[in-house]
Amino acid sequence: MNDLARTIRVVTLYPDVMSIYADRGNLIALRARCRQYGIGCEVTAVGIGDGLPADADLVLIGGGQDQEQRRIAADLAARGVRLRDWAEDDVAMLTICGGFQLFGHFYRTAEGEELPGVGIFDVTTVAPAPGAPRCIGDVLADAGDLGEVVGFENHGGRTYLGPHARPFARMRHGFGNNGDDGTEGAVYREAIGTYLHGSLLPKNPAVTDRLILAALRHRYGPGVKLETLPPDPYAERAHRAAAAVARRRGRPNP
């Protein structure tokens, strides 16, 4: 199958509400990487009250402060059946911070309000009492076969993995899910949840490639392969710079 025939269908959820700390950069980076591969990228933005497309190959949702999460939580939870079906069908997903929290079971705010999640990740998130310190800073973590990942975190909520959740990464510098257990984010099938803003994908091309490959395989079958691109000098430089800052300033993990 020649490159020009390959197109992935991307759904971006609440891009006008859930895109704090430059998370919209993930879609920009995804589109740019797809262009490098000669892969088409059809994007459907889904806002509050909009219908979901009949199918998708990749879903994106960014982060948001409590008030943004409150605005979309009920609308998102109402889409839970379709989103869980997509996750079980290995649709690629990238969910960031507040979006990640709402792809778990629930997010309980510092005021004790419980926002429902869609339950794709077996995680729960609870914010400590008002005035407790937030998890803020530069992050360096090990994401297994994806290698080292870098980004920026700013969240009050502490996320805890349930028995069916696997972490996206293990912390080296920064707080991660809760500042205690050394885990960062969660993965379920082809869905990735992470606290890494910045945005994530421009500095971590291996993650972008993983999402593109999963999206292609969802649409064209498991035999699809993705050729190796030459190193992207800008992404490499951005990654190295962010890693150096995290090593210098990020909260060390034991």
Q: Among 36, 49, 151, 48, which Cα is nearest to 96's?
A: 151
Q: Is 154 in the site for ligand GLN (CB under 6 A)?
A: yes
Instruction: Figure out which of the listed residues 10, 20, 76, 143 binds ligand GLN, where binding follows CB under 6 A.
Output: 20
Q: Is 156 in the site for ligand GLN (CB under 6 A)?
A: yes
Q: Is 98 in the site for ligand GLN (CB under 6 A)?
A: yes
Tell me the number of residues near ligand GLN by CB under 6 A.
Answer: 14
Instruction: Figure out which of the listed residues 157, 174, 205, 250 binds ligand GLN, where binding follows CB under 6 A.
Output: 157
Q: Is 210 in the site for ligand GLN (CB under 6 A)?
A: no
Q: Is 176 in the site for ligand GLN (CB under 6 A)?
A: no
Confirm if 100 and 168 have CB atoms less than 8 A apart: no
Confirm if 78 and 43 have CB atoms less than 8 A apart: no
Q: Is 66 in the site for ligand GLN (CB under 6 A)?
A: yes
Which listed residue (105, 155, 173, 197) is catalytic? 197
List the structure tokens of 232.
């992207």
Which listed residue (34, 41, 97, 135) is catalytic? 97
Return the SS3 of 145: helix
Query: Residue 154: is it exposed, middle or buried by C-beta count within 10 angstroms (0-12/13-18/19+)?
Result: middle
97 is catalytic: yes
Give the Cα-Cα-Cα angle 237, 242, 246 (nearest 5 degrees): 150
Q: Which residues bind ligand GLN (CB under 6 A)?
A: 20, 63-66, 69, 97-98, 101, 127, 154-157
- Residues taking part in catalysis: 97, 197
